[in-house]
Structure 1
Amino acid sequence: MRLKVAIIGGCGHVGLPLALALAPHHDVIIYDINAAAVAQVKRGEMPFRDEGGEQALREALARGLIVTTSPEHLSSCDILVAVIGTPVDEHLNPSFAVFDKLLAQLDEVLRDGQALVLRSTVYPGSSERVQRHFQKRGRKVEVAFCPERVAEGVALHEIRKLPQIISGFSPEGVKAARDLFSPLGVELIELSPLEAELAKLFTNVYRYISFAVANQFYMVASEWNIDPYRILHAMKKDYPRAAHLPMPGFAAGPCLFKDTMQLAAFNNNQFFLGHSAMLVNEGLPQFVVQQMQRRWPDLGQKTVGLLGMAFKAESDDPRESLSYKLKKILELHSAQVLTCDPYVSDARLVAEEQVLEQADVFVIGAPHKRYKTLDYRGKPVVDVWNHLGHGGKL
């Protein structure tokens, strides 16, 4: 069944890959208030890195993909997909302000018989909150929650491959979700809305806690002047019960920390495992600087080159990147910090060659592939990720 589908917030990291994946199967409209991003997508240019995105965008535009800053098309759509989630505020509690603003806008355009699919990670119970919003207004709009489950940078590929969780408050809402995603040919897993919301949060929080385990092991070994990567290699080598333990590194990005705090808030802040993981992961930059001070007592007279400001390798997304936290701490304890990244757009960054030339010591913030083969001019490199394969000892 070919449907008319609108992706609200469709020029972002969640919405655009979904729009491109659905474009061969449905008539897709991207609605986004970011005029610069809309203009860029209209030109056939991806606003961010995603494998296969450029070609898929060109093909979608050739099929008639509509990209607009106007909500005028929303009323004519069968299904609207909202990719706006619930952020956390300065007190690490969920904030519904963005969500409420969206609902107020949708009240102007939605009509009875449409379905609204919530796509981004939300605070548990948010889907029901949206359902009540329409019920109170006597609107017959089906609400479904179908979380994205993909990794940034390979989102388009994974949307077409990974099972999709769907949920709804009525058989009609579930059917709308099935009709939306069935053409992708992936397995559909049906849950209740609250189950689906928790499944998404549990997944992200599990990853965050797993990273904290690896980072805590890294800190323990480093405190005893032992290479943590020799230990991790011994643990994981042909040993299935340790196979899923990740490697140490800066665990950050727009989701994992936020979602851990959302789950904590949902459980009345009785989530000691999550809070402990946050303390470990957020404490790693401070730990690295302390180790650098031990290794170089004259760190205050050195220029530090920080390589990679994205939150993960091969990404152009700096949101919640711990490289920026590391930079702030280093600025307190070194003479100067120079930062660069081949993908991130930030006026504060300098040319890579300048960093290589002027820095006395380097820190790999994001393990981009290019950093494996850089000429570091014989200068020391702090490599939490073991990106260069020399171990984790400073």
Structure 2
Amino acid sequence: MAESEFRHDVCVVGGCGHVGLPLAITFASHGLRVSVSDINARAVETVRSGRMPFLEAGAEEALRAVIGRTLEVGTEPGLVSEARHVVVVIGTPVDEHLNPTFHTMRRFFQGLIPHLRDGQTVILRSTVFPGTTEKIRALLDRSGLRVRVAFCPERVAEGKAMEELVVLPQIVSGCDERAVEAASELFGTIAKSLIVLSPLEAELTKIFANVWRYIQFATANQFFMIAADHGLDFYKLHDALTHDYPRMAGLPRGGFAAGPCLFKDTMQLSAAYDNNFALGHAAMLVNEGLPNFLVKHAKGRFDLATMTVGLLGMAFKAESDDPRESLSYKLRKLLEAEAETVLCTDEYIRDPNFLPVEEVLARSDLLFIGAPHRRYRELSLPSDLPVVDVWNLYGRGTFPG
């Protein structure tokens, strides 16, 4: 099939999710003919109606402007065959032993091969285990297809995708010069600038970025724990460290380091380095251990077994409706093992087991802040309600005095 015969400029496969949909909308907003192929029929119908299936600032208005015009959405895998570029947002997952499972990626592409056509460019978008791009190229070559293979990692923060897709530099890599040229042409329509690397360089660059953030958060959380064990307010120390002192400006505040990427990618890098990544494993122990630390300190202050405990915020971060890998759920499990009753609420996640925040406040003897949603700052808390506030949302330190 000649390039001029493709009905769409780009098809985003798995494109109704947090990575793919903002990208598809952005391409369509810049005049490209875009299709989205996704097996989630419910999400597809939601997008077709001009509504976002998840929170993403600025996305729904942009979606309504392009849906049915420059953006087509469907469950049909045949959409893949009609696009010049095929962007795949399926990443390499980690199994229960924290090892990457490339066989999942292999099975996905084996199912995709019947829908690919000569002359296309296949672009991997999600974070992948180092070496994956070349393995996919080899798999497609063995199938007899003449397609180009590229890796152009997603670099935006969830919730800020529509803004960051057009202002951040885009890393572009490919298995040959023609793949780099095709991917550069595609992302050049939206990105502020392009950085060209080899596939392995690009894969490691993406993983390094996520792991660096995870380690930064672990450093802050370790400092937080040390301060708390000394009976001190970490946030008083944090303010002293960072106030008008540029060398410490990069020190994060404490809080849950969670979500679908940071932990997983730290474990991917460790596996790629023969499990000799001690710094990554240490960061994992700190970040994943923070809920346990909070409950341990709460037990030292309160008789949890007789208390109703309220948990505000179940998303993995503020102003998000994404529960994936949220440490609030780990915190809930720990509290359920210690407290008489645990009540949960969230401003954005819809769960029949969650209660309105007002009811949680009225019934709770003790409150934990799981996700620091903006609305929680505005709550009028009962003066006698103690709060375990790892985020220092209320400016009173983490643990009640």
Mark yes or no: TM-score above 0.5: yes
Take 1:54 and 1:111, find their aligned partners in 2: how far apart are those partners?
32
Residue 356 of structure 2 corresponds to 351
Q: Which runs of 5+ in 1 are unaligned?
A: none
Residue 373 of structure 2 corresponds to 368
Query: What do the CA deviations read for 1:7-56 (whole angstroms, capped 9, x no partner)?
Result: 00010000000001100231000100000000000000100111101111
Could you tell me the TM-score, scaled by structure 1's length?
0.98
AA at the equivalent of 2:310: G
Tell me the CA shift for residue 107 of structure 1: 1.2
Take 1:35 and 1:152, find their aligned partners in 2: how far apart are those partners?
22
Residue 182 of structure 2 corresponds to 176
Residue 34 of structure 1 corresponds to 40
Take 2:233 and 2:80, find their aligned partners in 1: how far apart are those partners?
57
AA at the equivalent of 1:21: T
Tell me the CA shift for residue 62 of structure 1: 4.8
SS at match of 1:78: strand
Query: What do the CA deviations read for 1:171-205 (whole angstroms, capped 9, x no partner)?
Result: 11001111111111411000000000000000000
Residue 342 of structure 1 corresponds to 347
Residue 227 of structure 1 corresponds to 233
Identity %: 54
Among 224, 230, 250, the residue aligned to 1:244? 250
Residue 314 of structure 2 corresponds to 309
AA at the equivalent of 1:258: K
Residue 331 of structure 2 corresponds to 326
Give the alignment's Cα RMSD to 1 decimal. 1.3
Residue 126 of structure 2 corresponds to residue 120 of structure 1: yes
Q: How many residues align?
A: 393
Tell me the CA shift for residue 160 of structure 1: 1.1
Retained in 1: the 8 A contact 2:174–2:199?
yes
Residue 9 of structure 1 corresponds to 14
SS at match of 2:174: coil
Residue 60 of structure 2 corresponds to residue 44 of structure 1: no
SS at match of 1:362: strand
Retained in 1: the 8 A contact 2:310–2:361?
yes
SS at match of 1:356: helix
Retained in 2: the 8 A contact 1:150–1:158?
yes
Residue 295 of structure 2 corresponds to 289
Take 1:256 and 1:178, find their aligned partners in 2: how far apart are those partners?
27
Take 1:304 and 1:97, find their aligned partners in 2: how far apart are those partners?
42
Q: Judging changes above 3 Å, is the alpha-carbon distance between structure 1 residues 18 and 105 closer, same or farther for their aligned structure 2 residues?
A: same
Among 365, 374, 386, the residue aligned to 2:392? 386
Tell me the CA shift for residue 351 of structure 1: 1.9
Could you tell me the TM-score, scaled by structure 2's length?
0.96
SS at match of 2:12: strand
Residue 218 of structure 1 corresponds to 224
Query: What do the CA deviations read for 1:39-91 (whole angstroms, capped 9, x no partner)?
Result: 00000010011110111100111523110000122212110000000110000
Take 1:18 and 1:256, find their aligned partners in 2: how far apart are those partners?
20
Query: What do the CA deviations read for 1:339-383 (whole angstroms, capped 9, x no partner)?
Result: 000101223212222211111111000000011011222211111
Which of structure 1's runs of 4+ aligned residues deviate more than 4 A?
none
